[in-house]
């Protein structure tokens, strides 16, 4: 079995907030969503770099992919990337779980000081005779071998002609591909077609295909997802890491909303795969509530820092590998200076790298679950001026371990903990559509102080 390669691609194969202080304890990475495609989009002005992760499983000779592009790409505009960059971006921006510990209310002075701080930081809720390319209206604009990929850039004037050309060239394409190709031909877009060069692939030593990257200029800030639906079976997930210079990225032709986040949840989510299962279920429930018609923001942050950190921010070298062309390279990665003509032994002063690890890069992580019916248009994006940090972060609050009669403050504190834990259970049930009683059974509640008889003290003789 294989997974979809990339939401914008037609796969050709035999088978079709505020700063958050806390201790990070878990994350829900992209691997939770087995049918998810991942893509990195770098954008500044009209310059775009797209990296697509070819998460393909099957015979490599069966692999091929078609991606609409706005222009004929030169060989220098195409690169074979490193999957580790996807892993790093995923780890850095993954939904995360953080935990906090309540202060002991019997330590009255420390408790009063910390109580105010907690209040200020409370979370927000049959085959015919072959036809010529000319007769089919197809032109091979360029062809290259880049790494393990044989690449052709095509232009076409008719969608059925392009479909026929692909079939005649040995590509096994889904039924009704001409219909999916037609909108891009009408927009005069070109087609980036890649398949595996088995001899070159054997030389790489890699078992899995490496990501393809391509750079281009276009006024359109978009991802062509419609073509990828031609061979889709059921809803698909797309996780897009959007790297920009100034602000948060959102879709301009669909609703972009933030997932529910920054709320307290029951402590048992820390156990085993509970948090990962929670997040997968929660995302499915929220997507269902929106009718699979919304794009969700999972993360937005300045790449110079994070809190709590699920992984370190990417280095300048890693950002360059992702396609962030405006970031300086480090000294180790930069070209070595050569002696100035006529002045042996004297080297020009190198351009210093950006210091302190701070990078002029904003990361927006978008997640969308869609079908051909719910997303009839390609994704169009815009960079906003919003720089308010946001992350899908969930909090575990450990109560202090005290007995009800430990001090005067213990009883009201434990009563407050019980109310808080009931709210945590209600929030978990609302987010996931789960059974509130089943959730309660998993929770460990604080001790309940013994209740005095109702008549105790009625006549003033109670103790």
Which pLDDT belongs to residue 132? 67
For 269, phi and psi rounded to 5 degrees?
A: -65, -15
Average the pLDDT over 369-385 and give the result. Answer: 94
**Cβ(243)–Cβ(361) under 8 Å?**
yes
The kind and range of the H/E element at 191 are strand 190-196
Give the separation between CA 331 and CA 353, rounded to whole angstroms.
7
Q: How confident is the model at residue 153 (pLDDT cuts 50, 70, 90)?
A: very high
Which pLDDT belongs to residue 242? 98
Please state which of the ranges 119-123, 130-134, 147-151 shows the lowest mean pLDDT. 119-123
Ordered by start, the domain boundaries in the chain are 10-125+137-330+353-398
Which pLDDT belongs to residue 449? 61
Per-residue pLDDT of 154-163, as tens digits, reads 999 988 888 8
Please state which of the ranges 97-111, 294-308, 324-338 shows the lowest mean pLDDT. 324-338
- The DSSP line for 147-177 is TTEEEEEEEES-HHHHHHHHHHTT----TTH
Q: How confident is the model at residue 318 (pLDDT cuts 50, 70, 90)?
A: very high
pLDDT higher than 80, residue 105: yes
Highest mean pLDDT among 151-160, 253-262, 299-308: 253-262
Higher pLDDT, 83 or 337: 83
Q: DSSP assignment, residue 104?
A: P
Average the pLDDT over 286-305 and give the result. Answer: 94
Average the pLDDT over 8-19 and give the result. Answer: 41
Per-residue pLDDT of 190-236, as tens digits, reads 999 998 888 888 888 877 789 999 999 999 999 998 877 766 678 88
For residue 277, the SS3 value is helix
Per-residue pLDDT of 408-439, as tens digits, reads 888 899 999 999 999 999 999 999 999 999 99
Highest mean pLDDT among 29-43, 88-102, 130-144, 302-316: 88-102
Q: How confident is the model at residue 78 (pLDDT cuts 50, 70, 90)?
A: very high
HSE at residue 364, side-chain half, CA atoms within 13 A, is 27
Average the pLDDT over 380-402 and give the result. Answer: 93
Average the pLDDT over 358-378 and give the result. Answer: 91
For 342, phi and psi rounded to 5 degrees?
A: 75, 0
Per-residue pLDDT of 124-144, as tens digits, reads 444 455 666 777 889 999 999
pLDDT higher than 70, residue 358: no
**Cβ(107)–Cβ(254) under 8 Å?**
no
- Please give the C-alpha separations between residue 450 and each of 400, 401, 403, 455, in angstroms, as whole numbers: 19, 17, 11, 15
Q: Percentage of residues in the chain with pLDDT exceeding 70?
A: 79
Which pLDDT belongs to residue 24? 58
**Residue 68: partners with Cβ closer than 8 Å, 6 or more residues away:** 8, 184, 189, 190, 191, 192, 224, 227
Please provide the average confidence, as pLDDT, over all residues in the chain: 82
Nearest CA among 318, 302, 252, 244 for reference residue 48: 244
**Cβ(274)–Cβ(336) under 8 Å?**
no
Whether this prediction's pTM lies above 0.75 is answered by: yes
Per-residue pLDDT of 157-185, as tens digits, reads 988 888 888 888 877 777 678 888 888 99
- Specify which residues 382 forms β-bridges with: 250
Give the separation between CA 197 and CA 231, rounded to whole angstroms.
23
pLDDT higher than 60, residue 10: no
Q: How confident is the model at residue 29 (pLDDT cuts 50, 70, 90)?
A: confident
**Cβ(50)–Cβ(214) under 8 Å?**
yes
Please state which of the ranges 43-52, 172-181, 293-302, 327-336 shows the lowest mean pLDDT. 327-336
Which pLDDT belongs to residue 426? 95
The number of angstroms, rounded, from the C-alpha of 355 to the middle of its chain's C-alpha atoms is 27
């Amino acid at each position: 079995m294989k997974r979809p390669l990339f939401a914008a691609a037609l796969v050709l194969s035999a088978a079709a907030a505020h700063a958050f202080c806390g201790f990070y304890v878990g994350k829900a990475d992209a691997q939770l969503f087995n049918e998810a495609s991942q893509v990195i989009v770098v954008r500044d002005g009209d310059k775009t770099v797209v990296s697509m992760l070819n998460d393909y499983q099957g015979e490599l000779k069966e692999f091929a992919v078609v991606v609409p592009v706005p222009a004929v790409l030169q060989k220098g505009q195409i690169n074979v990337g490193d999957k580790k960059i996807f892993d790093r971006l995923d780890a850095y921006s993954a939904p995360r779980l953080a935990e906090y510990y309540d202060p002991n209310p019997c330590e009255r002075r420390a408790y009063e000081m910390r109580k105010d701080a907690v209040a200020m930081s409370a979370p927000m809720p049959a085959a015919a005779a072959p036809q010529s390319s000319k007769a089919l209206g197809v032109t091979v604009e360029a062809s290259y071998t880049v790494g393990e990929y044989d690449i052709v850039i095509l232009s076409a004037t008719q969608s059925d002609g392009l479909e026929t050309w692909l079939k005649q060239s040995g590509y096994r394409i889904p039924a009704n591909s001409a219909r999916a190709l037609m909108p891009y031909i009408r927009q005069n877009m070109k087609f980036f077609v890649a398949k595996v060069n088995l001899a070159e692939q054997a030389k790489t030593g890699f078992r899995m295909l490496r990501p393809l990257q391509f750079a281009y200029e276009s006024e359109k800030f978009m991802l062509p997802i419609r073509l990828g639906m031609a061979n889709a079976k059921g809803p698909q997930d797309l996780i897009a890491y959007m790297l920009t210079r100034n602000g948060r990225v959102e879709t301009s032709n669909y609703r972009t909303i933030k997932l529910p986040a920054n709320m307290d949840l029951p402590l048992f989510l820390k156990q085993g795969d509970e948090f990962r299962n929670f997040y997968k279920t929660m995302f499915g429930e929220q997507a269902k509530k929106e009718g699979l018609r919304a794009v969700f923001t999972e993360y937005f942050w300045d790449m110079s820092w994070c809190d709590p950190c699920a992984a370190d921010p990417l280095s300048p070298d890693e950002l360059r590998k992702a396609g962030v062309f405006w970031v300086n390279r480090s000294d180790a990665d930069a070209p070595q200076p050569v002696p100035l003509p006529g002045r042996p032994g004297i080297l020009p002063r190198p351009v210093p790298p950006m210091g302190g690890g701070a990078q002029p890069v904003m990361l927006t992580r978008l997640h969308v679950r869609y079908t051909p019916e719910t997303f009839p248009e390609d994704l169009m994006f815009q960079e906003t001026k919003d720089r308010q940090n946001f992350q899908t972060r969930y909090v575990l609050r450990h109560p202090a371990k005290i007995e009800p009669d430990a001090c005067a403050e213990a009883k009201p504190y434990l009563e407050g903990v019980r109310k808080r834990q009931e709210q945590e259970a209600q929030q978990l049930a609302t987010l996931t559509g789960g059974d509130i009683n089943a959730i309660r059974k998993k929770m460990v509640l604080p001790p309940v102080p013994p209740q005095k008889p109702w008549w105790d003290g009625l006549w003033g003789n109670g103790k």
